[in-house]
Amino acid sequence: MNRYVFAYVNPDTDGVCCAIAYAELAARTRDECFLPVVWGRINRETQLVLSRFGVERPSVINALDGDYRVALVDTHHPQHLPDGLDFDRVVEIIDHHPAGHPEAFAHADLQNEEVGAAATLIVERFRAAALRPSPQVAGLLAAAIISSTLNLKAPSTSYRDQRALDWLRPVVEISEPFVEEMFVALSDTAGLTTAEVLAANYKEFRTGRITIGIVQVEAIDPTAITRRADLPEELRRLAEARPDTAHVFVSIIGMLAQTTTVIAVHAATRELLIRSSGMTFTGDVALVPKILLRKTDFVPALVTLGEQEGPW
């Protein structure tokens, strides 16, 4: 029987690093061999982090056959998992996101706690087992916490994230210049068409009876995205290609200025965002003077609104 550990399709740095760290933890605490793998692509920030700490890239796979078991990290959202994955073979989940679907994974031990990074939960497991991660894995975990919390500035950041970083500090210190390098790598969209930027950062969420598609882009300079003249047209095209998706919008996080720029080309979508998150639009654009994350801010607000108002 093969055991795999992975995050959602097209994982971020938290997802990839947690998969690798989980494998080390399972090997050392339970003598179980999990293979960390990736579905989809490994983003530029994650590539930078892996090479910085001298860790080989996990294999990218596109199918699972035979008798296997799976541990999931950084997700328990069925819509974000690969097609064909047998959820009954998921034995463990470590996640930090609200509005997932625990009932879909009947045989899994689920830990879902709302901290800023799944990596924080893995660090706490090492601590609980009185084990230090290897220097490489310590580096990946620290980088994952910094990436997922936008250097402890995202509203989802908790004291546990800070405490986990402090605990790793004797083994690994992430310098400010390296944090900046990570952010630059993450927000590097040069050479991509607007359609490619949207597609690479698009995710769907079910809130009550409807599906909402959200593009979340992290950017050092949000205007690198907002000034793309074809953005409204490409967003419209994306929405038209997803007729079952009730609303589609773009959220651009300004990583340095700590802002969120929301672009919604349909009046009904703007209405929904005004009601759920209280933002103010000028034309298609709303500028919010803080960071709003897709899974921790937008989706829970939409779910709450749906519960209050009934199906839209």
When the beta carbons of 148 and 269 are compared against Mn ion, the nearer one is 148
Using CB under 5 A, which residues numbered 18 to 57 contact Mn ion? Answer: none
| Closest-CA residue to 45 (of 189, 176, 166) | 189
296 scored as a contact of Mn ion (CB under 5 A): no
Diameter over CA atoms, the chain: 57
When the beta carbons of 74 and 234 are compared against Mn ion, the nearer one is 74
Q: Report the chain's terminal Cα–Cα distance, integer Å.
A: 45
Binding range to Mn ion, per CB under 5 A, among 71-79, 250-258, 262-270, 299-307: 71-79
Binding range to Mn ion, per CB under 5 A, among 23-31, 32-40, 117-125, 202-210: 117-125
At which residue do the structure tokens 């933002």 appear?
279
148 scored as a contact of Mn ion (CB under 5 A): yes
The answer to whether 161 touches 152, Cβ cutoff 8 Å, is: yes
Please name the residue ranges forming H helices in 84-203. 118-128, 135-148, 159-168, 176-186, 194-200
When the beta carbons of 265 and 291 are compared against Mn ion, the nearer one is 291
The distance of closest approach from Cβ of residue 294 to Mn ion in the complex, given in angstroms and rounded to an integer, is: 11
216 scored as a contact of Mn ion (CB under 5 A): no
74 scored as a contact of Mn ion (CB under 5 A): yes
Find the binder of Mn ion among 5, 13, 14, 194 (CB under 5 A): 14
At which residue do the structure tokens 């409807």 appear?
210
Residue 131 has φ and ψ, to the nearest 5°, of -120, 145
Q: Where on the chain is the footprint of Mn ion (CB under 5 A)?
A: 14, 74, 118, 148
